[in-house]
Amino acid sequence: MKINKILKQKIKTNNATKFNFLQKNYSSKANSIIKYFDTDKDKIKIFADNRNKSGVYLWTNKINNKIYIGSSTNLSVRFYSYFSLRSLAKSNRLLERALLKYGFSNFSLEILEYCKPEDAIKREQYYLDLLKPEYNIVKRADSTYGYKHTEESLNKMRNFILSAEILAKKKLSTINATEARKTPIIINNIETNETQEYKSITDAGKALGISKSAVSQALVNNRLIKKIYEIKRK
């Protein structure tokens, strides 16, 4: 058991050393602007940093050191397609298969450069010729293979790509709206004259051991619940 553990650690260390060496080798040819070493953890940051930006990017598999070069006139929308499991499952491209097989934590992502939208294809071709990426099936940057999105799908992507702050605000807004729709209820035990207040019909139903609809009907029909509980809105 101890020997297996040592061997696994050695393999992991060798892979990391090889990855760092190749990263330096790539860097000597192309200096990237931004590096995301763990794309699983950095997903939100990747979307936020590259919103409405065009440029060229590099994926690197940290296990086998194979790379992929791509470009887009809207990088955040392009990256959404990578992080969508539905899109990955439908794709036959080598990179998407590798992302599913190895997981995002075993891939790094680099922005090689930002550029004008009209220059994206030309700059991608430059890096394709320079780095000769293994995951690129087509070596021509002007190929649209695998990236024909409808306007509807693009809109869905744009709507999905929200910062963590906006997502938190939307969640809070939903919670507040739900709270605002709740009807405070007062339950009075006519035998003991004890009164209890609940935040909603649902809460009152749970306390009395009956359904929400049963509480609503008793409230509408001005009827006692279990012959002893009087119910009314606050």
Angle at 129 between CA 126 and CA 131, to 5 degrees: 100
Average pLDDT over residues 166-194: 70
- State how far the Cα of 13 lies from the Cα of 93, in Å rounded to an integer: 29
Domain boundaries, the chain: 2-165, 180-233
pLDDT digits (tens, 9 = 90+) for 72-97: 999 999 998 899 888 888 888 899 99
Higher pLDDT, 52 or 179: 52
Q: Could you tell me how far CA 32 lies from the centroid of its own chain?
A: 24
Which CATH number is associated with domain 180-233? 1.10.10.10
Average pLDDT over residues 5-19: 47
Least confident interval from 21-25, 28-32, 73-77, 191-195: 21-25
Average pLDDT over residues 18-43: 71
pLDDT digits (tens, 9 = 90+) for 202-230: 888 888 888 888 888 888 888 888 888 99
Asked whether the whole model's pTM tops 0.85, one would answer no
- State how far the Cα of 46 lies from the Cα of 67, in Å rounded to an integer: 18
Higher pLDDT, 178 or 37: 37
Percentage above 90 pLDDT, the chain: 36
Which of 120, 32, 29 minimizes the C-alpha distance to 73?
Answer: 120
**Residues β-bridged to residue 58:** 69, 110
- State how far the Cα of 72 lies from the Cα of 54, in Å rounded to an integer: 6
- State the residue for tokens 């008793």: 218
Does domain 2-165 bear CATH number 3.30.390.10? no
- State how far the Cα of 127 lies from the Cα of 56, in Å rounded to an integer: 8
What is the rounded average pLDDT for all residues in the chain?
A: 78
